[in-house]
Amino acid sequence: MGKTEKVFDYQRYVKMGLRRKWYIIIPFILSVIISIGVYKHLPKVYRANTVILIQAQRVPESYVRPTLTEPVAERLNTISHEILSRTRLEKVIKEFNLYSDLLTNLHMEEVVDMMKTKIEIKVQRPNAFSISFEGKEPQTVMKVTNKLASLFIEENLKFRESRVGETVQFIGKELQTMETTLKKTESAVRQYKEKNMGQLPQQLETNLRVLDRLEQQYKTTSDNRRAAEDRIVLLQNQIEQLIDRQSERGASLKNLAQGENVRSERAPEEPLVTQLNALKRDLANAESKYTPSHPDVVDLKKKIADLGPRVKKQEEERERRLKELKALQEEMAADKNSQAISSLSDPATERLLTQYRAQLNEAQLEANRLKEEMVNLKEQIALYQRRIEETPKREQEMVQLNRDYDLLKTYYQSLVDKKYQSQMAENLERKQQGEQFMVLDAARLPEKPFKPDRNTLLAMGACLGLAVGLGLAWFRESMDRSFYEVSDLETYLGVPVLASLMNLKEEEKKAA
């Protein structure tokens, strides 16, 4: 005979379950009864829940920027650590007389840690979160939950005021430091400007105009000096001519009185003075344009040095002649007996000579004044030229100073703006116009316990009883050596069954 494959027959298992039904029913009922008993005897744990809404600030953020910009989850984490601290929870435990039975055997720290496990804080929405607490007494659970909610609201207000106050204080210190730095920088800029006054970039145009004016003034003064020197030469020539005339007249009178012929001859070198003055004017003009090492300046100086001794010798000869004429006049004025000699002094000539000498003196004073003025103008021109030459260097230094000063000033102004904003935010928090926690749904008195869950416990007991009953039924069936099916007997004996008899007892039971 070939092997026959076993086919799953569910009717067989149903029959087996019916045969062993009490092995299944009794454990199931017992398990359910035990579950009910356990539920009755287990301590009931109630849970209260409250929802807190995070209300945005009432003043628009475009007017007053909020100081706290961190996410709600991070802020709740910070506040939760403060609320769930031992100090806070210990006060709550004492206020509501919680865990009085446990405090006799446990330390307060252990009770606080256990209470932390009974508190749950969960973020429900971006602008809301819930607080729940578990306990044995419904009334106490509700009160503790509302107390925790009030603590969160109070701590949020304190937290926001503290953070805003710290922000205001920090910005104030930074502002003081920056103000000190800014004053030092302003003082450094002011001292630099005072030290380099006249060489600053903004004074370049003024310096150029002043330099141009000084050069024009120097040129005008040089021309005036040249004119004064020409006038001096002209007056000297006129005076010399008058002196020569008087000398010739005096010599004639002296020859008549003493029989001597005094002949005065005109100095052949008079044009040398004019030539020397012309060279000096050319030298002054060249020095105003060129450096001392310029060939024209060197050549003019050499010519003046060569002509100087000859002019000096001519001046000495003229002075000698003037002294002789003066002595002759004094001698002739002392001789009262000579008619011819008394006529030596011509009043008109004397007046004219006195006038020329006065003009000569004025011209010389004017020439000296103009010379000193030219020296001063030359020094001023050199000063302004140095200022103009130093201006690019000062400009570069001023750019660096101004850049640092502008950066500090910009940062200082930003700190001032932030200080005003933080002060407004602080006032907003003090007036409770900023972001606030508001109880959206207060904790209510729990009507049924949260733990244990009756339905869950009964379902677990029923499942456990059913599993135990099925296990017992399977075990009893496995230990039974009876044959209830013809196929089982054929399989066991290995031969086919030709006929089978009914169980008369069962037939009788069915008939009855």
210 and 149 within one domain: no
What backbone phi and psi angles, to 5 degrees, belong to 437? -95, 130
399 and 307 within one domain: yes
The whole-number average pLDDT for the span 110-135 is 87
pLDDT score at 462: 84
322 and 270 within one domain: yes
311 and 250 within one domain: yes
The mean-pLDDT minimum among 51-55, 212-216, 413-417, 448-452 falls in 448-452
381 and 252 within one domain: yes
Residues of the chain above pLDDT 90, percent = 4
Give domain status of residue 397, yes or no: yes
CA pair distance 66, 56, nearest whole angstrom: 10
Give domain status of residue 58, yes or no: yes
- Give the pLDDT confidence of 261-310 residue by residue, as tens digits: 433 334 444 566 677 777 777 777 777 776 777 777 777 777 777 777 77
**Last residue of a domain, which of 384, 416, 448?**
416
Give domain status of residue 157, yes or no: yes
The whole-number average pLDDT for the span 316-332 is 64
- Model confidence at 141, in pLDDT bands (50, 70, 90)? very high
8-state DSSP, 57 = P
408 and 427 within one domain: no
The total of structural domains in the chain comes to 2
pLDDT score at 464: 87
Residue 343 has pLDDT above 60, yes or no: no
**Highest mean pLDDT: which range of 73-82, 94-103, 289-298:** 94-103
Q: Where in the sequence is the domain holding 31, given as residue range(s)?
A: 18-168+422-482
How far from each other are the two terminal CA atoms of the chain, in whole angstroms?
Answer: 43
The whole-number average pLDDT for the span 185-210 is 84
474 and 378 within one domain: no
Mean pLDDT of the chain: 76
CA pair distance 343, 250, nearest whole angstrom: 9
Residue 381 has pLDDT above 70, yes or no: yes
For residue 482, CA distances in Å to 8, 133, 436 come to 20, 60, 79
pLDDT score at 144: 92
The pTM assigned to this predicted structure is 0.48
Which residues, in sequence order, are CB contacts of 39 under 8 Å at separation 6+?
Answer: 452, 454, 457, 458
Tokens, residue 296:
């024209």
Give domain status of residue 117, yes or no: yes
Cα atoms in the Cβ-side hemisphere of radius 13 Å centred on 269: 15
pLDDT score at 67: 63
263 and 232 within one domain: yes
433 and 411 within one domain: no
**Last residue of a domain, which of 416, 444, 474?**
416
The whole-number average pLDDT for the span 42-48 is 83
Residue 205 has pLDDT above 70, yes or no: yes
pLDDT score at 257: 46
The whole-number average pLDDT for the span 123-128 is 79
What backbone phi and psi angles, to 5 degrees, belong to 496? -75, 150
437 and 318 within one domain: no
Q: What SS3 class is residue 131?
A: strand
pLDDT score at 4: 45
The whole-number average pLDDT for the span 347-368 is 82
- Higher model confidence: residue 253 or residue 19? 19
Residue 512 has pLDDT above 60, yes or no: no
CA pair distance 380, 358, nearest whole angstrom: 33
Give domain status of residue 43, yes or no: yes
**Last residue of a domain, which of 359, 383, 416?**
416
- Give the pLDDT confidence of 207-250 residue by residue, as tens digits: 888 888 888 888 888 888 888 888 888 888 887 887 777 666 66
152 and 64 within one domain: yes
pLDDT score at 268: 42
444 and 407 within one domain: no
Residue 85 has pLDDT above 80, yes or no: yes
The whole-number average pLDDT for the span 4-25 is 68
Give domain status of residue 189, yes or no: no
- Higher model confidence: residue 35 or residue 63? 35
Give domain status of residue 53, yes or no: yes
The mean-pLDDT minimum among 97-111, 454-468, 488-502 falls in 488-502
The whole-number average pLDDT for the span 162-185 is 84
CA pair distance 161, 432, nearest whole angstrom: 10
Give domain status of residue 211, yes or no: yes
